[in-house]
């Protein structure tokens, strides 16, 4: 009566995430949550540092921070749309940053982040992240 039912091979071999990818996703989750909160509670300090920033930018930046948090969690759950969400939000942020007067160097930071994310998704052999995304 103590016979164990064999578990099919497909369920014993779960998806494996490379340690660098795990660390990068955790940092992205923390950073994007912090950015959303920073824009939510630090509006006055930011307005003093960047007086040219218009009020409409803050809700957009809070929304983008929350969207990026959702995308990072999606990637953590093996969803490819999370990556494409980061691509879209980085392009939006490039336009916003340029429109509020930031320099091109500061403005392309998000695009560099997407390139790093893509690179981290390519690290590994059997535990390479990109081919495992659904």
Looking at residue 103, its pLDDT comes to: 85
Within-domain flag for 132: no
Within-domain flag for 99: yes
Work out the pLDDT band at 10, boundaries 50, 70, 90: very low
Within-domain flag for 31: yes
Domain that holds residue 58: 18-123
Looking at residue 89, its pLDDT comes to: 96
Which DSSP string corresponds to the chain?
--PPPPPPHHHHS-----HHHHHHHHHHHHHHHHHHHHHHH-HHHHHHH-TT--TTHHHHHHHHHHHHHHHHHHHHTT-THHHHHHHHHHHHHHHHHHHTT--HHHHTHHHHHHHHHHHHHT--STT-SGGG--
Number of folded domains in the chain?
A: 1
Within-domain flag for 107: yes
Question: Is residue 4 predicted with pLDDT exceeding 70?
Answer: no
Work out the pLDDT band at 3, boundaries 50, 70, 90: low
Looking at residue 7, its pLDDT comes to: 39
Within-domain flag for 9: no
Within-domain flag for 1: no
Looking at residue 80, its pLDDT comes to: 97
**Model confidence pLDDT, tens digit, residues 68-122:** 999 999 999 999 999 999 999 999 999 998 888 888 988 898 899 999 999 999 9
Within-domain flag for 7: no
């Amino acid at each position: 009566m103590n016979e164990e039912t064999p578990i099919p091979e497909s369920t014993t071999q779960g998806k494996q995430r490379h340690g660098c990818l795990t660390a990068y996703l955790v940092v992205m989750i923390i950073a994007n949550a912090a950015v959303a909160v920073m824009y939510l509670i630090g509006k006055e300090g930011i307005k003093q540092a960047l007086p040219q920033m218009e009020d409409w930018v803050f809700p957009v930046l809070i929304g983008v921070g929350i969207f990026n948090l959702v995308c990072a969690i999606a990637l953590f759950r093996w969803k490819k749309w999370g990556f494409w969400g980061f691509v879209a939000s980085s392009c939006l942020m490039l336009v916003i940053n340029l429109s509020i007067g930031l320099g091109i160097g500061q403005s392309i930071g998000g695009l560099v982040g997407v390139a790093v994310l893509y690179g981290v998704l390519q690290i590994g052999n059997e535990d390479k992240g990109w081919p495992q995304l659904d």
